[in-house]
Amino acid sequence: MVTDLGPVIRTRPTLAVWKFASCDGCQLTLLDCEDELLGLTGRVRIDHFLEMTPAEGADRDRARLAGRGPYDLSLVEGSITTAEDAERIQHVRRVSRRLVTIGACATAGGIQALRNFADVDDFLTAVYAQPEYIATLETSTPISAHVPVDFELRGCPIDRRQLLEVVTAYLAGRKPQISDHSVCFECKRRGTTCITVAHGTPCLGPVTHAGCGAVCPAYGRGCYGCFGPSSKPNLRSMVAQLRRDGMSERDIQRVFRTFNAASPEYAPVPDLAAEEQQSPPA
């Protein structure tokens, strides 16, 4: 079978950037590629990117959201939190040859997936003066829960170099050079002294997906997992270590309940943290 790495790119392919429930930070990463942006627009035609282009078509309002396509490459930011968005992502998939999710919201549900662990109506009444105006789903779900996704780029926000790698790899017809291993690889490659071992600082690096360049540990701060889980993380052992580094059951639960809270890999954490609480290490 010929894998769907897409066609060999001979003409200037079209690019679309889409926003769902998110803060816009990942889309802005594309605009942050200041040195490469002109080169990029020479290789791809940015056809749909509301952060930087006027809307297409006569029916301005619809076109703003919908975009007619088809697009060779779609970058999708944000999670699905409304019924309308659940339909819109189907449209995006239909008009996209290749769909790449960018960031923790689109890939794991984002910080807004904290609602998945509670009653969304409680949040509505706590936050909004008139909650009856709010129409939202009970859960925040990643794009992959709704449509097939060709590649998922991690991070909150995504890393600029990794975004460029995804686009250049697409243009070259190769696999993006993006690894699923731990942040520890990046700490060691850049020569950072391990802060857990040398200072006893709790750090999620050993179970967190690389890609950020190990920024936090380089500044003496423990990794807090904004790129989500690495491949096959051993959370039982990680949770036990966080306990040894002084974290309470509540702290451990909370450190995994951030931007990638709804990652399925993290599901056992509350039980593991409680278990550890009952049997502290000798």
Partner 1 sequence: MSADTRVNAVPATASEGLVMGKDGMAALVDVLVRRGFTVIGPTARDGAIVLAELRSADELPYGWGVELEAGRYRLRERSDGAAFANAAGPQSWKSFLHPSRVREWSADRVEGELVLTPDRDAPPRYAFLGVRPCDLRAIAVQDRVLTGGAYRDPGYTGRRSGALLIVVECTEPGATCFCVSMGTGPAAGPGHDLVMTEVVDADGHRFWIRSGSEEGAEILAELPARPAGPETREKARADVTAAADRMGRTMPEADLRELMAGTLDAPRWDDVAGRCLTCGNCTMVCPTCFCTTTEDVTDLTGDHAERWRLWDSCFDLDFSQLHGGPVRASARSRYRQWMTHKLGTWYDQFGSSGCVGCGRCIVWCPVGIDITEEAAALHDWTRSGVTAAEPEEG
Partner 2 sequence: MTTVPPPLPYRVADAWDETADTRSIELVPAGEALAPFSPGQFAMIYAFGIGEVPVSASALRGRHGGLVHTVRAVGAVSTALYRLRPGDSVGLGGPYGTGWDLEAAAGHDVLVVAGGIGLAPLRPVVHTVLDRPAEYGRLAVLVGARTPADLVYQDEIESWRGPARVEATVDRPGPGWQGAVGVVTTLLDRLDLRPEGTCALLCGPEVMMRHTARDLLARGLVPHRIQVSLERNMHCATGHCGHCQLGPLLLCRDGPVVGYDRVADLLLVREL
Residues within the interface to partner 2 (CB under 8 A) = 1-3, 5, 8, 172-175
Among 75, 92, 163, 171, the residue binding partner 1 under the rule CB under 8 A is 171
Least gap, CB of 214 to partner 1 (angstroms): 12
Residue 32: exposed, middle, or buried by beta-carbon count in 10 A (0-12, 13-18, 19+)? middle
Q: Closest CB to partner 1 among 123 and 185?
A: 185
> Which part of the chain contacts partner 1 (CB under 8 A), choosing from 18-26, 57-65, 149-157, 237-245?
237-245
Least gap, CB of 151 to partner 1 (angstroms): 15
Q: Which does 5 bind (CB under 5 to 8 A by kind): partner 1, partner 2, none?
A: partner 2
Give the number of residues in contact with partner 1, rule: CB under 8 A: 45
Binding string, residues 80-119; x marks residues near partner 1 by CB under 8 A: ----------------------------------------
Q: Which does 70 bind (CB under 5 to 8 A by kind): partner 1, partner 2, none?
A: none
Please give the single-letter amino acid code of residue 194: C
For residue 226, which of 19, 17, 26 has the smallest C-alpha distance?
26
User: How are strands ordered across the β-sheet holding 14-19?
Assistant: 45-49, 14-19, 71-77, 96-102, 151-153
Kindly state whether residue 196 participates in binding partner 1, applying the rule CB under 8 A: yes
> Which part of the chain contacts partner 1 (CB under 8 A), choosing from 76-84, 115-123, 142-150, 165-173?
165-173
Among 32, 56, 165, 275, the residue binding partner 1 under the rule CB under 8 A is 165
Q: Closest CB to partner 1 among 161 and 254?
A: 161
Kindly state whether residue 225 participates in binding partner 1, applying the rule CB under 8 A: no
For residue 227, which of 207, 242, 249 has the smallest C-alpha distance?
207
Q: Which does 158 bind (CB under 5 to 8 A by kind): partner 1, partner 2, none?
A: none
Q: d(Cα 258, Cα 229) in Å, to the nearest integer?
A: 12
Least gap, CB of 169 to partner 1 (angstroms): 8
Residues 6+ positions from 168 with CB-CB distance below 8 Å: none
Q: Closest CB to partner 2 among 174 and 190?
A: 174
Angle, vertex CA 19, rays to CA 13 and CA 23, nearest 5? 130
**Which of the residues 50 through 69 are near partner 1 (CB under 8 A)?**
none
Please give the single-letter amino acid code of residue 1: M
> Which part of the chain contacts partner 1 (CB under 8 A), choosing from 46-54, 75-83, 93-101, 232-240?
232-240
Kindly state whether residue 174 participates in binding partner 1, applying the rule CB under 8 A: yes
Q: Name the token pair of 78.
A: 């944000």
Least gap, CB of 120 to partner 1 (angstroms): 35
